[in-house]
Amino acid sequence: MAKKRKFREADYAATEKSQITLGEALPAEHLARFIVSVVGQLDLSDIYGQYGERGGMPYAPEVLLGILLYGYTTGTFSTRKLEKATYESIPFRYIAGNMHPDHDTINQFRKENLETLKGLFVQVLMLAYVLGHVKLGNISIDGSKVHADASKSKAVSYGRILSMEKRMHQEIEALFALAEKADSEQPDGFDSDDEVGRRTKKLADLAEAKAMIEAMAAQRHAQEQAEYERKMAARKEKEARTGKKTPGREPQPPQPGARDKDQVNLTDSESRIMKNGNNKAFEQSYNAQAAVEHESRFIVGNTLSNHPNDKQEGVATAQAIPAELGTPDAAAMDAGYFSPETIRGLKAMGIDPYIAVGRESHAIDLHTLLEGEPEPPPENADHKTKMLYKLRTEAGKAIYKLRKSTVEPVFGIIKEVMGFRQFSLRGLIAAAGEWNLVCLAYNLKRLHRLHTA
């Protein structure tokens, strides 16, 4: 079809010969420049201390750290993709100093410095504090399930293990019987010793998985027993106080031992099957936690566990807040964290807890909306009654309502904007280190936004 008017067309032959500098391509306020500037202000002596005096010339820690941090802030987590980006991406090429560390070098640096990165998380927070961008006041704590680097299809149940062990033993006995027969009675090319060896190895793997499940079951029983004893103590205390027998069935003590449906994953044995809050599917995951400061929206503390629910996570996450920042005044959390132990633990730290005691209603009735300050409960009221009163006070309403506009958007940014939905590292300790790296990257992204606003 004939063109009716003239167009600006690209001259690709000339374009290939054109030259630009990295300085021209990166604006002064670009995130890559900011990360290089921040990394240059961090104390990396712990990382430098790991290098000996001999050997080939390694890449400077600032280069590898900068590549990792820019990668995690922009959604590039694969070390192979990071290596490729040092060739193809202008910001990565700038941070790498026009060098190209291979993916093994970047991956090794990440693995070896996961513990050190915890200190860098604190340093970045303190830098934000010095610049006036964060001052610890009230916080919100929340968690989100993040997919482990493991497939659900690689999980095996306790009942399945028992069945497979029985079958392996039967097959080994059959193989020994076959080995005693004359060679002419055995299939061509059949090696009974090889077959027995494969099944013996499989039995050893099953025994290891079985021991893991039994250890998990023992831990679960200890937790369930403690919860049972707490409920019974509360029941007896209430009966003694009221002089009335508590209605309903009495709680039953938990049963010890592994259950047939208990599972362990053979790819990442420390991850657990957890229910995804978004699609309601059950996936192999870890439970990532973050404490977010209300005013600044910085993550001031982070933890990771393989616990399917949040009952034990509130105090642990509050304890992860660096002492250098101080102690928050109050903490808001949803009903998944509510327990007397969490309330006592936070109060012992000097933090005033505001924790929902049940599912939040999206529709507030007119009576609740118009009611004034409620009457304080009696001193001997239970934890639930006292917490309900706190949440209905003006101060309680003001603190708790900020939870949805502080910590929940942070997880949204991490998953939707930064694109972090699955761990690259396996095992609880390594995954916890990677989650800290994600939180560090988020804080850098937040600090850059505030600093360039």
Residue spans per domain, the chain: 19-112, 134-151+269-435, 153-243+251-265
Domain 134-151+269-435 fold: Nucleotidyltransferase; domain 5 (3.30.420)
Structure tokens at 128: 């934000």
Q: By CB neighbour count within 10 A (0-12 exposed, 13-18 middle, 19+ buried), where does 248 fall?
A: exposed
Q: How far apart are CA 307 and CA 148, in angstroms?
A: 13
Contact predicate 141/337, CB 8 Å? yes
Q: Where on the phi/psi map is residue 177: left (φ > 0), alpha (ψ -120 to 50), or beta?
A: alpha
Pairing mode, strands 330-333 and 299-305: unpaired
- Collapsed DSSP state (helix, strand, coil) of residue 205: helix
Q: Print pLDDT tens along the chain (453 aa).
A: 566 788 888 999 998 888 888 888 899 999 999 999 999 999 999 999 998 888 889 999 999 999 999 999 999 999 999 999 999 999 999 999 999 999 999 999 999 999 999 999 999 999 999 999 999 999 999 999 999 998 777 778 888 889 988 999 998 988 888 777 766 566 666 677 788 888 998 888 888 888 888 888 898 888 889 888 888 888 888 888 888 888 888 888 999 988 888 888 888 888 988 887 766 778 889 999 999 999 999 999 999 999 988 999 999 999 999 999 999 999 999 999 999 999 999 999 999 999 998 776 544 554 554 566 677 888 778 888 888 888 888 888 899 989 888 999 999 999 999 999 999 999 999 999 999 999 999 999 999 999 887
Confirm if 211 and 203 have CB atoms less than 8 A apart: no
Contact, 347 vs 329, CB < 8 A? no
- How many beta carbons lie within 10 A of that of residue 267, not counting itself? 15
